[in-house]
Structure formats: C-alpha cells, structure tokens
Amino acid sequence: MRRALMGSVMMVLALAGCDADWIVVDEAPAAPRELAVSYYAGVVTVTWELAPAWDGESFRVYSRRVTDSDYFLIADVTNCVGSTCAYADANVAAGETYEYYVSAYDYYNDLETATSYSVDVYVPSGSGPPSPNNLRVVALDGANYLTWGDAARNSSDFAFYRVYQDANGGAQYLLGETDSEGFLDLLAANGATSWYYVSAVDGDGHEGSSSVLAEGTPRPDYHGEWLYDFFGQPGLSGFRFQQDEASDPVMHGTSSDRHFRLEVDQVGWWLVLGPAAAVYPVAFETTSLKCQVAADSGCTDIETAPTEGYVTSDQFLESQRSYVLRVTGDDGATHFGVLRIEMLGFDQDSDGLMIFDWAYQLQAGNPDLVAGVGG
C-alpha cells in the first residue's frame, strides 16, 4: 500500500556566496522512483528505480512499524545494478506491519530528497508445511533417485520442496528444489553412500521441518537403469539390450536400433516397441529381477521366457512387475530379454522417468533368462 509522505525529510537549499551580486543554489538530488516492497522467507525487500536525473548519489532507507511515531534510518545503499536498487531488511518480526521510504542523498552538499510516498508490508507468521513423509532412496548406477509421499502437498500454503544432502561432520548442502515428489541426484558416485533429507516450503518462503534421513549407495551394474519420457527428453528415452557393459543401452527414442522407448501420457507409462522387437502382453508380478541362491522363500522372478504369444502393440507399464521381450540382437537372430520396473515417477523438472532392472539372453533362441547379461 502506498501512503503519502509528509514532512519526513526536508529538502535543504544551501545558499553560498560572499558577493551580494550573486547567489549559488545547490540543486537537490532527484527523488527515487517506483518504490516497492515485498516479503519472502523472513526478509522484506525494498526496491526502487533511479531517476533520470540521478547523478551518482547514494540512497538512504528508512523504516518504522506502523505503530511507531518515528522513522529510523536502517541502511545506506551505494551499490545499484543497472537502473534498479534494492535493500533486504531481515530485522523484522512476524505479525508486524512495516512502512518504508527511500531518499537520494548528496553527501558533498548534505542534501536529501525522499520519495513522495511510503510503502508498507505485513510480515506473516508461519512454520512451513508438514515434513515430507516416506522418503526413500533408490540406488542407481552413478546416481540416486529420491522419492517421498505427498503429505506436505496437502497443506493449503504448499509451494515446493527443497532437497538436501547430509554430509559427514554435520554439514548440509542444498541439492535443488522441485515441485514434484521425486529428485534425481546425478552427483552421487558409485560406491559412496549419500544421506538425504527433504523439506517443504510455503508460498511466503517459510520452510517446514525436514523429513527423516534416508541413504543410497550407487553401484555399477545392470540394476537401476533409467529412461526418460520420449516427450520430455527424447535423447534419453530409447533402449537396446546389450551384450556387455561397455556398450551404452540408452539411446535416442527415434533410433531405428532401439528395442523400445518410454512414453508418458495422462494415462500412464508406456513401452513403445522398436522395429525389431515384440513384447509378451501379460505382466508378471515379481519381487526381483533374479532370485539368487540366498534369496528368501518369497522371492519370485521370471526364469523362462514364453515362446509364443508376443505382440508389437504398446504395452502399459506398472511398477514391481516384469515384462518379457523378444528382440532381434546384434547378430540378426532372435533373443529374449526381461525388464523389471522398479519405479515409475518424475524428476525435479517434472520429466517422467522409469527405473528398471534388466537381463538379456546371449544365446540366440534360448528362452532361459538366467544365463545372460544382468542375470
């Protein structure tokens, strides 16, 4: 709100001269323009623009609570960027309304000209949204994927999340911000454990309490592969089963060499086949891509691929399920592969992605899915 400013700063005309025939009048500096004020995250920011006649003068920022009778000089500002100046006032209390005005100050002639009006702002109180719930870290090859529940989103003033890494020695690092319940940390290194927590922020910048800590340790293997949605990042949406880890299985979604690509729409996540692939249309409920010798009795996987019944239509995908494909390999022969969907979600830029494990039978025509890369 603008308020007319009366009598706050007097413009002083300094008269100088010893000769009665002439008088020198020092011209007062031009008043600042477009005075504005805003509040965010415990700080009031005062902004203004330089007048066209500005001649390098500094600025003085004055403030008071609306319940106070007098203004107080709170800052001298000499560094402006371009034609705009700003001052951040962190010395404010919740529940109070503050009023500000700014003056241009000519230090050499001791002349000061204030804005013709003041602006006020209310400092709200707030503790931020609730803590994000159910934080989980999925370890990938050279990355960690974080996901959490949407309990904080149910708060009426929810705005976005902040994702932190909790390092050794108690230091915390802000990794990024996102408005989705997912974050892909591409800075995580294989073999190194990283700890994370997440907080939610409201529209006024108030940050709520943090989630519980969760950890992830990336590792190099055929578990934890990921693809992006073709419509979000087409260059990272295609996939081709490979015979060894020296070859990157991820490729552009339009490549004719792909066995499939990932597409995401309003319905969900889809496996869209390439020209040399078919998929078995029934998803298998599994608990693991491959059950090892020491696996518990409840472990379920796909040991043998079906030999017929494959289709070339798009396949709807669901997490925690395995899908079997029949593809043409690098040798021009038919091979079988399997992928198990670990998670379907979004990253910090709201791009859809799929995290999955996969295995590929190297022997042509053999439906046994155990002996092969990733198996």
- Summarize pLDDT for 71-93 with one digit per residue, the tens: 999 999 988 878 899 999 999 99
- Average pLDDT of 94-123? 94
Do the first three CATH levels of 2-122 and 136-216 match, i.e. the same topology? yes
Q: Is the dihedral of CA 231, 232, 233, 238 positive or negative?
A: negative
- Average pLDDT of 185-207? 92
Please give the residue that has the higher pLDDT: either 279 or 54: 279
Specify the CATH number of the domain 2-122.
2.60.40.10
pLDDT at 141: 80
Count of C-beta atoms within a 10 Å radius of residue 3: 12
Fold classified for 136-216:
Immunoglobulin-like (2.60.40)
pLDDT per residue as tens digits for the range 276-286: 999 999 999 99
**How far out from the chain centre does Cα 260 lie?**
28
pLDDT at 222: 84
pLDDT at 142: 83
**How far out from the chain centre does Cα 250 lie?**
24
pLDDT at 370: 53
The pTM is what?
A: 0.73
Work out the pLDDT band at 169, boundaries 50, 70, 90. low
- Average pLDDT of 21-27? 55
Q: Which residue has the tokens 């965010």?
A: 40
Torsion, CA 280, CA 367, CA 326, CA 322, rounded to 10: 50
Of 159, 143, 148, give the one whose Cα is nearest residue 211: 148
Work out the pLDDT band at 26, boundaries 50, 70, 90. low
Domain spans of the chain, in order of start: 2-122, 136-216, 225-373
Work out the pLDDT band at 12, boundaries 50, 70, 90. very low
Report how far residue 274's alpha carbon sits from residue 238's, in angstroms, rounded to the nearest whole number. 9
pLDDT at 115: 95
pLDDT at 7: 46
pLDDT at 217: 85
pLDDT per residue as tens digits for the range 218-269: 877 788 899 999 999 999 999 999 887 778 999 999 999 999 999 999 999 9
Percentage with pLDDT > 70 across the chain:
90
The whole-chain average pLDDT of the chain stands at 89
Given a cut of 50, whether residue 14 has pLDDT beyond it is: no
Percentage with pLDDT > 90 across the chain:
70
Please give the residue that has the higher pLDDT: either 25 or 305: 305
Give the 3-state secondary structure of the chain. CEEECCCCCCCCCCEECCCCCCCEECCCCCCCEEEEEEEECCEEEEEEECCCCCCCCEEEEEEEECCCCCCEEEEEECCCECCEEEEEECCCCCCCEEEEEEEEEECCCCEEEECCEEEEEECCCCCCCCCCCCCEEEECCCCEEEECCCCHHHCCCEEEEEEEEECHHHCEEEEEEECCCEEEECCCCCCCCEEEEEEEEECCCCECCCCCCEEECCCCCCCCEEEECCCCCHHHCEECCCCCCCCCCEECCCCCCCCEEEEECCCCEEEEECCCEEECCCCEECCCCCCCCCCCCCCCCCCECCCCCCECCCEECCCCEEEEEEEECCCCCEEEEEEEEEEEEECCCCCEEEEEEEEEECCCCCCECCCEECC
Sequence-ordered list of residues with C-beta below 8 angstroms from that of 214, at least 6 positions apart, any chain = 135, 136, 137, 146, 195, 196, 197
- Average pLDDT of 167-172? 73
